[in-house]
Homo-oligomer: A and B are copies of this chain.
Amino acid sequence: MEDSALEKIEMRPIGFVRRTSPNEDVRDRSLVSHIVLIRDLAQAVDGIEDWSHIYVVYWLNRVPRTEEPVLHFPNTEPESPPLGILATRAPIHPNPIGLTLVELIGREKNVLLVRGLDAYDGTPVLDIKPYPDWEQGRFLVVTEFRVPEWLTSIIKQ
């Protein structure tokens, strides 16, 4: 891979996450929060209320970016082998992008009300995408999948 190909990519937030209280446990997926889009994008969400779920792509601005050792221990049994940071859903990534599939509860102009967004108050939002994706004649919803052993043991707890 030539270094010349690794040019910087620049983005700007399309909005920000707003939570009722900064002390909320963002990992509690039952909680509701707001995505406040910049006002110029109010029309960009016309029709979004017809979808029940959307992906939110955001920027983990509190997470230190890492360029280095690429191993991470998931919070599980001590005998777990080290894992690549891209092989977990740990927030520490070369590009700390967050991705959460949330329930869209409502929309008022440039503000979306969502449930299940595990992002802090003030988090910059980069993009939103309706769920699910599709191809000719079918929705692309994956219900059969395989996950690592260490995750299965977490889920069983």
Copies held by the complex: 2
Q: Point out the residue from B43, B55, B95, B99 that lies within 8 Å of A70, measured CB to CB.
A: B43
Asked if A16 contacts B43 (CB within 8 A), the reply is no
Is there contact, CB below 8 Å, between A133 and B51?
Answer: no
B13 touches A10 (CB 8 A): no
Q: Complex formed: what's the CA distance from A116 to B51 in Å?
A: 23
Residues in B neighbouring A43, C-beta threshold 8 A: 69-71, 84
What 1/0 mask marks residues of chain A from 33 to 58 whose CB sits below 8 Å from any chain B CB?
Answer: 00011111101111110111101010
- Write the residues of chain A forming the contact surface with B, with a CB cutoff of 8 angstroms: 1, 5-16, 27, 29, 36-41, 43-48, 50-53, 55, 57, 59, 69-71, 81-89, 93-95, 97, 99-101, 116, 124, 126-143, 145-149, 151, 154-155, 157
